[in-house]
Amino acid sequence: MARLELFARTEVGCVRKRNEDQFLVINLATRQSGLQPHDRVQELTRAGTVIAVCDGMGGAAAGDVASDMASNMIQQTMLEYTPFRDMEHARQALLAAVTAANQAILDYAAQDPMRHGMGTTMTVALLFASELIIVHVGDSRAYLRRGRTLTQLTTDHSIVGQLLAAGRLTVEQARNFEQRNVLLQALGVQPRVAPEIVKTTLRAGDVLMLCSDGLTGPLPDDMILEIMLKYEDPVRCCRALTEAACAAGGPDNITVAMTRLTGDGLELPRGREAVKIDRSQATA
């Protein structure tokens, strides 16, 4: 049986006064959430495992509340939909979680003008047998390491992400772009959002990582890959990544959630098999 080795870590960083990030891990087979020691190794089943990172925004306008509400709505919605009949049913559940979280934050913010501007990113991964499906809004990211290659699965919903996709900025230029933190989409800002949906097939040895931009802001992808290759164990790797981001200035909250696929039950990569990504967009 294939297994998941899981861990996640969040840090306030070196500048912010409070942590507005949230992570979530749910074992849908047991319907339990959390990362107690007995939860850190799970079987990879058709029931599924959910991993999510939400990065709240708004500061005094309650960004921490927004990310917490999004995390709660993910858990509530995914448990309502499980067990999944197939991948399409799982996709519907993920989109329903986006819709529910977006509406909950909008409704909460409408009750108090001081909360205007609150919102959150949402990146949610469902590992469903050998398949991975992600729903994504904002600029938190999902990566997959296969062998010695790190692939960014999600596209940043930001001005910089759009310019990168259009080929109008290089990666190095993007790191120093003045408006690099301006989001084009987030939950709780507009009545409807258009989440990105990413699908791929998992292979034995793959490492999935979700993170907030508190990691990817100070650390370039090549440094992230170097640390991931040095530390195979998700516990040590999450700690090393967050500490490296803090050492690089830690200008934002830093959250990393990681799972490594081990054991039998998944195909091995075929040589230097690239990660094949199926991307689409929906309205929620």
Mean local confidence (pLDDT), 47-64: 89
How far apart, in whole angstroms, are the C-alpha atoms of residue 284 and residue 277?
Answer: 21
How far apart, in whole angstroms, are the C-alpha atoms of residue 47 and residue 52?
Answer: 17
What confidence score (pLDDT) does residue 159 get?
A: 75
Which CATH number is correct for 2-281, 3.20.20.70, 3.40.605.10, 3.10.310.40, 3.60.40.10?
A: 3.60.40.10
What confidence score (pLDDT) does residue 177 get?
A: 62
pTM for this entry? 0.94
Tens digits of per-residue pLDDT, 157-215?
A: 977 767 777 676 667 666 766 666 678 899 999 999 999 999 999 999 999 999 999 99
Tens digits of per-residue pLDDT, 208-257?
A: 999 999 999 999 999 999 999 999 999 999 999 999 999 999 999 999 99
pLDDT at 7 > cutoff 70: yes
Q: Where are the beta strands (DSSP E) in 114-167?
A: 119-120, 122-128, 131-137, 141-146, 149-152
Q: Annotate 228-242 with b (16+ C-beta within 10 A) or e (fewer).
A: beebeebbebbbbbb
Domain definitions of the chain by residue range? 2-281
What confidence score (pLDDT) does residue 183 get?
A: 86
How far apart, in whole angstroms, are the C-alpha atoms of residue 208 and residue 19?
Answer: 23
Residue partners of 269: CB distance under 8 A and separation at least 6: 146, 147, 203, 204, 205
